[in-house]
Structure 1
Amino acid sequence: MTHKQRLIYSILIAVSVLAIMLGLSWAQNAGMITEKMFQYIAIAVAVIVVIINAVMRRKVRS
């Protein structure tokens, strides 16, 4: 994986996390999920993103 590929994937991940958080916020405001569930899902998404970022960092070739 090159630095350019990692940058593209990082941007895609950031946009997808933003979309997930906006969707969760909408679902919470609509009463579909509780605030506690929102927190659990948000933490899970953050952990997954950190893991993906670490894997991508190891695969970058200089």
Structure 2
Amino acid sequence: MTVYYHVDAAQFAATGSGHLLLQARGQGFGGGYFDHGGQPWDEGGSFLATTHQVVYCKE
């Protein structure tokens, strides 16, 4: 999993324990693999980060 923060530590800490809105999207599935991306926003509408992960599911 890779996370890229788009705010500094002070802005991230100001989010506190409030709710987050997370937009998530599965982008490709097949052969036991999938990738997934996400973007969280805080309650005030500030864009916080992007995340991406590639997953392999072994049967």
TM-score w.r.t. length of structure 2: 0.27
The answer to which structure has the higher helix fraction is 1
Greater RCO (CA < 8 Å, at least 6 residues apart): 1
TM-score w.r.t. length of structure 1: 0.26
The answer to which structure has the higher strand fraction is 2
